[in-house]
Amino acid sequence: MRRPLVAIVMGSESDMPVMNEAIRVLDLFKVPYELRVASAHRSPKLVHEFAEGAEKAGVEVIIAGAGGAAHLPGVIAAETVLPVIGVPIDSSPMKGFDSLLSIVQMPGGVPVATMGIGIAGAKNAAILAIQILSRKDPALLKQLKNYKNDMAEAIEKKIKKQGA
Amino acid sequence: MRRPLVAIVMGSESDMPVMNEAIRVLDLFKVPYELRVASAHRSPKLVHEFAEGAEKAGVEVIIAGAGGAAHLPGVIAAETVLPVIGVPIDSSPMKGFDSLLSIVQMPGGVPVATMGIGIAGAKNAAILAIQILSRKDPALLKQLKNYKNDMAEAIEKKIKKQGA
Amino acid sequence: MRRPLVAIVMGSESDMPVMNEAIRVLDLFKVPYELRVASAHRSPKLVHEFAEGAEKAGVEVIIAGAGGAAHLPGVIAAETVLPVIGVPIDSSPMKGFDSLLSIVQMPGGVPVATMGIGIAGAKNAAILAIQILSRKDPALLKQLKNYKNDMAEAIEKKIKKQGA
Amino acid sequence: MRRPLVAIVMGSESDMPVMNEAIRVLDLFKVPYELRVASAHRSPKLVHEFAEGAEKAGVEVIIAGAGGAAHLPGVIAAETVLPVIGVPIDSSPMKGFDSLLSIVQMPGGVPVATMGIGIAGAKNAAILAIQILSRKDPALLKQLKNYKNDMAEAIEKKIKKQGA
Amino acid sequence: MRRPLVAIVMGSESDMPVMNEAIRVLDLFKVPYELRVASAHRSPKLVHEFAEGAEKAGVEVIIAGAGGAAHLPGVIAAETVLPVIGVPIDSSPMKGFDSLLSIVQMPGGVPVATMGIGIAGAKNAAILAIQILSRKDPALLKQLKNYKNDMAEAIEKKIKKQGA
Amino acid sequence: MRRPLVAIVMGSESDMPVMNEAIRVLDLFKVPYELRVASAHRSPKLVHEFAEGAEKAGVEVIIAGAGGAAHLPGVIAAETVLPVIGVPIDSSPMKGFDSLLSIVQMPGGVPVATMGIGIAGAKNAAILAIQILSRKDPALLKQLKNYKNDMAEAIEKKIKKQGA
Amino acid sequence: MRRPLVAIVMGSESDMPVMNEAIRVLDLFKVPYELRVASAHRSPKLVHEFAEGAEKAGVEVIIAGAGGAAHLPGVIAAETVLPVIGVPIDSSPMKGFDSLLSIVQMPGGVPVATMGIGIAGAKNAAILAIQILSRKDPALLKQLKNYKNDMAEAIEKKIKKQGA
Amino acid sequence: MRRPLVAIVMGSESDMPVMNEAIRVLDLFKVPYELRVASAHRSPKLVHEFAEGAEKAGVEVIIAGAGGAAHLPGVIAAETVLPVIGVPIDSSPMKGFDSLLSIVQMPGGVPVATMGIGIAGAKNAAILAIQILSRKDPALLKQLKNYKNDMAEAIEKKIKKQGA
């Protein structure tokens, strides 16, 4: 198995149904990844060790998904110079709106590339990771262009009708 | 100078005008405190060292103020068993609403005692800290009762008039 | 039975499923508590008598949960110098967002230690109460440290896999 | 001076610029009122005594204005069967939105007649009080109808022009 | 049958499950009411005729419930000097938050006594109506006091237990 | 079949249950329309070709429905001088609130006639389209007046009862 | 002077600074308009007479601007089959967000073409009115196309620079 | 001058004060960039040509800032496989909250890496762009690490004091 280029971290095992969408896309593009559960609040050392070690381990992009007061992406971004992509998860009574603000409103100096709330966000996290990786991988770039074309073509075949 | 019982941490020097209100109350009650700037995102090691060392240093309660995606209180709470009080600061275009949600919506297992946004919140953070300390300091408890009485009396003297 | 150190009050019997999570944690830590229903709006005298008498009855920390225009924690805090912890409950069409603002935005002078909305908030209310009690109870402090370690270890054993 | 029919209570002296608009209207209609500052949180006894005694003192309607976690109207409504009118005041960083929800989302059984945020709300509180009083005061009802007509006529005289 | 003292109007037949709670309370207090469906937008003439004629027909208080851009209470208030009580109904994807703002933010001069969103709001609309009517009906006032006492007593009998 | 006067575009096939309500109204008024799926983000060329060609193809009004960051109506409005009607669709965890703001807050110079969120919005999009077309089609105008009358009459027949 | 094709109505004289932007655009396109102040709440008869008479007076499109609980556009739309364009005005402490929801969330059957909040919305209201009028006025359509081209060209001349 | 690696696009010249912060950072890191004004709504062709041509012109990352219904980042992302970073600008009465939702809630398949609202967001856009570029430029990566260290050290020197 190849060394992971993308690391996916999520704050809780219960985030899996959402984050699976990122995995599905990385599998489709055959981009090697690793996946782990690590909570910024409940297992801070685990997060700390991961964030500090990711670059040396060969990881190029980090995807972090979290719900509620979603600190995971920001806490990782604080300890790495790798691009960090954040996915707000709609697991609290506030439906991920709390997570969106907790992830996106980072102070100047420490960006988190924030995606939309929930499954669409998890999917896009993987695609953004691939866009970043494709900056130095022409084969991946080509795959990405095909994916974009296929997406457009799939829509062109959809319903078109007239009425009245 | 006595060993600090309360530690006040703020994410940015620009939070001082708000956090000063906490200092004013601690000074009034003559509760020894220490004050520092440490950012969960821009100086994570500093925060980490502080959070891990606070209990041993004799601190009993931590007050943390932050704006935007305010992770500071939660990140400290992740690494200590001391009570952590969070103050959302209205420094972003979202007027502290982002900070409120980022501080209060903590996952089960890691509480942050969240105060209101801005100056009233900073004042209340100090009072809550004193309430906690007073659980084992009868003199402080007496001061607190006097403060509460004075507050009520001050209002009783306010305008009361009739018209029309 | 030992004298309760924590009092749990809730605005309505229908808040039990949420507040039960606080009870579960206090039971786990073997902290004696009392539990009652008292509404700031529908039974104000009951709340008034409770708030005034709690300190003398030996209560050290009060946890108050309420939904809608959640005044219960603030009304209790107005009449005691004990630390009051507020839990917003997601029982209205606004999903507890109304309760969060009603609890957290207290005026300077009268703090309520506000938790997140719903079950995670109820759990954290109990943990914060224990953090406060542990400031003068070394055995409880030790339990708290074990709890924190167990929480981190539980996460370390979660899924970790590689793919693509 | 006649016995007050309307009692205006506000949580803080700083609410006067807003609540003055209610006074201005009551003066215009020559409805006797009393005015006081009393905080549900900082002077609960004062509020309690006022709420319990208002009906006996001959008050017919209560107007209560408050900002932040605005509990004053609800706390008064809990202890009286008089109609209570609440005015959310835009004094916090949340611009009175917190106060609106704290006032309006009352539990079943204890209504507060909630007005809009700020000066327009204070004005309308007085008019609603007069509408209630006019249910048994035909002279007041006539005044109210004249007021309504004058308001409409004032608008009819406003700009009307054509262009292009 | 006695002449209705309260008129209940709702914007759509689908608002009945919510507005029924107001009817239940009026029935309990034996206050005569009339009930109708009339939409400010879809049947403006019906609303206009009702609003203009209500006072002459002997109605003392109007309760109007509506969802979405809930204009019904305000449109009625524009054409009557009777007190108008507005109930926001959670029928749109915005869960009644749109209706709350549409009802409560009335311009100076034309108040609507706004209740909370949904069923609790409908119940409270009836109670406020009764509070207003009781200003000139001592028997009703007595019923109201009994109702308030019963409500408090019902809560006093709720769960109270100790644990741990 | 007559040349379509109204074009209905939606960002995703999953928007059909909502947009069907627009179709139902156009069918009722016998206004010829065409219907297609085209995504501003996933098939931008398709949208571009449609927007540029619509006027020449005889389309008079465009209805565009989209969810999430709903750019479709604005992107079409950027490339045509035809009136564009936007329908926010409640398909994301934010329940269409995100779509509403994405559609309505257009910069000066490029309007989108924004409707309410969801099914009521889709219905109204069709009616607004018909109102626009009726400006030069007296038969359609007459139909519209009948429709408005029928709507009012339908309500006049609804429940009206008295109680207590 | 030609008969007005567009009627601009605003709820209060204080809305003029915002609505002036609509006038500026209509003047630019030399579209005849009339302008008046009429409040849905304070002068309902005036609004009623205007709404009922507009079509007969030759008006083709109505623009209505209002702040707070902005009922004016909806109330007019209830009484006319003309297209009604609504402009939310940011005059309340809620900055026009209340007005946006009050205008846009209309029930099925009665559309209001809602614009963005404030000045950009007022400008776009005029442009949408012109788009509607241009459906039967080829000269106006040509003007509109020139306007759109000029707008694009003005941007093409803006800053473009390179750095670092 | 070197070929730009980063393209900065903004929807309006008035966005310059915010977007300047991105320029300041790119200048500091000596990363070549180009800067232009292009509006998704007012000059769609300009945006289209830019988005389609950026990759061929050697651009590696695109930064797009916009206010209101901020479609610019999403519209560009629809036509390129380059990473697109979006900056919400607080220029509307909604203070950039509308822009945040318009940018971040992209549909699955077309990500925009969303930053916080306003100046902090613009600064972070540049840093994220540099993080992406540094994935294949070791010198830039070293600069980034120094920048991160300097940021932490600057905070370590901030106020630290004790009191009471």
In terms of DSSP bridges, do strands A160-163 and F33-37 run parallel, antiparallel, or are they unpaired? antiparallel
Q: How far apart are CA C46 and CA C9, in angstroms?
A: 11
Answer whether D35 sits within 8 Å of B163, measured CB to CB. yes
How many interchain CB pairs under 8 A, B with H? 69
Hey, are the CB atoms on B97 and A92 less than 8 Å from each other? Answer: no
Is the CB of F164 less than 8 angstroms away from the CB of E93? no
Distance from CA of B129 to the nearest CA of A (A): 22
> B40: nearest CA in chain H?
H152
Write out chain G residues lying below 8 Å of D120, CB-based.
68, 92
Where does the pLDDT of residue A115 fall: very low under 50, low under 70, confident under 90, or very high at 90 and above?
very high
Mutate to test the interface with H, among F15, F48, F102, F103 (most CBs of H within 10 A): F102
> Which spans in G82-118 are helix H?
97-104
Residues of B in contact with C119 (CB under 8 A): 108
What's the burial of D31, exposed, middle or buried (CB within 10 Å: 0-12/13-18/19+)? buried
Residues of G with Cβ-Cβ distance to E107 under 8 angstroms: 11-12, 39, 41-42, 67-69
Which residue, chain included where needed, has tokens 């359509």?
G141
CB atoms within 10 A of CB G99: 35
CA-nearest of B32, B29, B36, B34 to B15 is: B36
Mean pLDDT across the stretch F114-122? 98
Q: Which residues of A touch C90 (CB under 8 A)?
A: 93
Element (H, E) at G37: strand G33-37
Q: Could you please report the per-residue DSSP string of F43-103? A: -HHHHHHHHHHTTTTT--EEEEEEESS--HHHHHHTT-SS-EEEEEE--STTTTHHHHHHH
Distance, in Å, from the CA atom of C49 to the CA atom of G39, rounded to the nearest integer, reads 50
β-sheet with E33-37: strand ranges across: B160-163, D33-37, D6-10, D61-67, D84-89, D113-114, E113-114, E84-89, E61-67, E6-10, E33-37, F160-163
Nearest to F35 among A95, A96, A163 (CB): A163
| Cα Rg of chain H, angstroms | 17
Is there a contact between H15 and F51 (Cβ–Cβ < 8 Å)? no
Which residues are registered as beta bridge partners of C35? C8, E161
Helices H16-28/H119-133 angle, 10° precision: 30
Q: What is the mean pLDDT of residues G103-118?
A: 98
Q: Do G42 and D162 touch (CB under 8 A)?
A: no
Could you say which of D1, D39, D93 has the minimum Cβ distance to residue B117?
D93
Cα(A80)–Cα(B41) distance, integer angstroms: 10
User: Which pLDDT belongs to residue A1?
Assistant: 67
Q: List the single residue in C with minimal CA-CA distance to A34.
A: C162
Portion of chain C with pLDDT greater than 70, in percent: 99
CB-closest option in A152, A159, A164 to F46: A152
Query: How high is the mean pLDDT of chain E?
Result: 96
pLDDT > 70? residue F6: yes
In the predicted model, is pLDDT for residue G101 greater than 80?
Answer: yes
Predicted local confidence at residue B20, as pLDDT: 97
In this complex, do E35 and F155 lie within 8 Å of one another by their Cβ atoms? no
The residues, any chain, with a CB within 8 Å of residue C134's CB and separated by 6 or more, are: B81, C140, C141, C143, C144
- Of the candidates F97, F118, F161, the beta carbon closest to that of E35 is on F161
Check: CB of residue H97 under 8 Å from CB of residue F129.
Answer: no
Helix (H) or strand (E) holding B138: helix B138-156
Residue among G21, G120, G145 minimizing CB distance to F81: G145
Could C141 and B111 be called an inter-chain contact, meaning their C-beta atoms sit closer than 8 Å? Answer: no
A11 touches A65 (CB < 8 A): yes
Query: At residue A48, what are phi and psi to the nearest 5 degrees?
Result: -60, -50
Over chain C, what is the mean pLDDT? 96
If pLDDT is split at 50, 70 and 90, which confidence band does B160 have?
confident
Say yes or no for a CB contact (<8 Å) between B23 and H156: no
C-beta atoms of G41 and E102 within 8 A? no
**Residue ranges of chain A whose CB lies within 8 Å of a chain F CB:** 90, 95-97, 116-118, 120, 151-152, 154-156, 158-164
Given a cut of 50, the residues of chain D with pLDDT beneath it are none
Letter string b/e over residues E79-117, b meaning 16 or more CB atoms within 10 A of that residue's CB: bbbbbbbbbbbbbbbbbbbbbbbbbbbbbbbbbbbbbbb
| Averaged confidence pLDDT in chain B | 96
Set of chain E residues whose Cβ sits within 8 Å of the Cβ of G92: 105
Helix H or strand E segment including G163: strand G160-163
Verify E-H touch: 3 or more CB pairs within 8 A: no
Helices F16-29, F138-156: axis angle to 10 degrees equals 110
Token output for A152: 């457009």
Tell me the CA distances in angstroms from H12 to G151, H43, H68, H129, one per residue in order. Answer: 12, 10, 11, 21
Which residues are paired to G163 by β-bridges? H33
Count of CA atoms in the C-beta half-sphere (13 A) of C18: 30
- Summarize the confidence of residues F150-158 as an average pLDDT: 91
- Residue H1's pLDDT band, with cuts at 50, 70 and 90, is low
The most confident of the ranges A149-158, B21-30, F155-164 is: B21-30
In the three-class reduction of DSSP (H, G, I as helix; E, B as strand; rest coil), residue A151 is classed as: helix
Q: Is the pLDDT of residue B97 over 90?
A: yes
| Cβ–Cβ below 8 Å for B110 and A42 | yes
Alpha-carbon separation of residue H61 from A62, H88, H133 (angstroms)? 18, 17, 8
How does the average pLDDT of chain G come out, rounded?
A: 96
Task: Sheet with A160-163: list strands edge to edge.
Answer: A160-163, F33-37, F6-10, F61-67, F84-89, F113-114, G113-114, G84-89, G61-67, G6-10, G33-37, D160-163
Q: For H36-53, what is the mean pLDDT?
A: 96
Phi, psi of D30 (to 5 degrees): 55, 40
| Residue D16: exposure state from Cβ atoms within 10 A (0-12, 13-18, ≥19) | middle
d(CA E47, CA E20): 20
Mutate to test the interface with D, among E85, E114, E144 (most CBs of D within 10 A): E114
- Residue A2 in tokens: 């190849």
The shortest CB-CB distance from C164 to any of A16, A30, A46 is to A30
Q: Does pLDDT of E94 surpass 70? A: yes
CA–CA distance, F90 with F103 (Å, rounded to integer): 13
H138 Cβ contact list (under 8 Å, min separation 6): none
Distance from CA of H106 to the nearest CA of A (A): 6
Can you tell me the distance from the alpha carbon of A144 to that of A147, in angstroms, rounded to the nearest whole number? 5
- ipTM, two decimals: 0.97
Site from F10, F71, F75 to mutate, H interface, most H CB atoms within 10 angstroms: F71
Beta-carbon separation of H124 and A105 below 8 A:
no
Q: Helix C119-133 and helix C138-156: axis angle, to 10°?
A: 140
| Average confidence score pLDDT of chain H | 96
Beta-sheet pairing, H84-89 with A160-163? unpaired
Pair of tokens at residue E107: 């311009």
Query: In the prediction, which pLDDT does E31 show?
Result: 98
**Confidence grade of residue E1 (pLDDT, cut at 50, 70, 90):** low
Please give the average per-residue pLDDT across C86-97, as a whole number. Answer: 95
Is the CB of H92 less than 8 angstroms away from the CB of G162? no
Q: Name the band, by pLDDT with cuts 50, 70 and 90, for residue H163.
A: confident
pLDDT of residue G92 exceeding 70: yes
What mean pLDDT do residues E80-101 have?
96
pLDDT score recorded for residue D74: 98
Q: Which residues of G touch H23 (CB under 8 A)?
A: 163
Q: Report the residue of E46, E71, E117 to disrupt the G interface, i.e. the one with the largest count of G CBs within 10 Å.
A: E71
Q: Which residues of C fall within a CB distance of 8 Å from E155?
A: 37-39, 42-43, 46
Determine the residue of chain A that is closest to F27 in CA distance: A164
The partner residue sitting opposite H106, judged by closest CB among F44, F48, F69, is: F69
Total residues found in chain G within this entry? 164
Is chain C adjacent to chain F, meaning 3+ CB pairs within 8 angstroms?
Answer: no
Q: In chain F, pLDDT over 90 holds for what percent of residues?
A: 93
Task: Kindly provide the b/e burial profile for residues E35-64, where b requires at least 16 CB atoms within 10 angstroms of the residue's own CB.
Answer: bbbbbbbbbbebbbebbeebbeeebbbbbb
Instruction: Report the distance separating Cα F155 and Cα C34, nearest Å.
Output: 54
pLDDT-above-70 percentage for chain H: 99
Q: How many CB atoms lie within 10 A of CB C136?
A: 13
Cβ contacts of F26 within 8 Å, gap of 6 or more: A163, A164, F6, F8, F33, F126, F129, F130
Side-chain half-sphere exposure of F29, counting CA atoms within 13 A: 31
Q: How far apart are CA E104 and CA D113, in angstroms?
A: 10
Question: Given pLDDT bands bounded at 50, 70 and 90, which one contains residue C1?
Answer: low
- pLDDT class for B143, splitting at 50, 70, 90? very high
**What pLDDT is attached to residue A95?**
93
Report the pLDDT averaged over residues C98-120. Answer: 98
D4: helix, strand or coil: coil
* Position B116 confidence tier, pLDDT thresholds 50, 70, 90: very high
Stretch C129-158: mean pLDDT: 96
> Contact D128/E83, CB-based, under 8 Å?
yes
F26, F43, F94 member nearest A164 (Cβ):
F26
Q: Which residues make Cβ contacts (< 8 Å) with residue B108, sequence separation at least 6? A: C21, C119, C120, C123, C124
Nearest Cα of chain G lies from the Cα of E4 at a distance, in angstroms, of 26
Lowest mean per-residue pLDDT among C147-156, E32-41, E91-100, E154-163? E154-163
Partner-chain contact E132 D127, CB within 8 Å:
no
Q: Give the minimum alpha-carbon distance from E119 to chain C in angstroms, rounded to a whole number.
A: 10
pTM of the predicted structure, to 2 decimals: 0.97
H163 burial type by CB count under 10 A (0-12 exposed, 13-18 middle, 19+ buried): middle
Task: Among C85, C105, C120, select the one facing B108 at the smallest CB separation.
Answer: C120
pLDDT above 90 for A14: yes
- Contact: E151, C31; criterion CB under 8 Å: no
Give me the residue from A13, A31, A45 closest to C164, CB to CB. A31
Give the chain D residue whose CA is nearest to the CA of G24: D164
Our CA dihedral for F21, F25, F28, F33, rounded to 10 degrees, sits at -100
Query: What pLDDT band is residue C114 in, cutting at 50, 70 and 90?
Result: very high
Burial (0-12, 13-18, 19+ Cβ within 10 Å), C56: exposed
Three-state SS string across B12-73, please?
CHHHHHHHHHHHHHHHHCCCCEEEEECCCCCCHHHHHHHHHHCCCCCCCEEEEEEECCCCHH
Contact at CB, D98 and C105, closer than 8 angstroms = yes
Overall average pLDDT of the H138-161 stretch = 93
C and H in touch (3+ CB pairs within 8 angstroms):
no
Of A77-86, B112-121, F150-159, H109-118, the least confident: F150-159
Q: Write the DSSP string, E11-80.
A: SSGGGHHHHHHHHHHHHHTT--EEEEE--TTT-HHHHHHHHHHHTTTT--EEEEEEESS--HHHHHHTT-
In angstroms, how far is the first alpha carbon of chain D from the final one?
A: 58
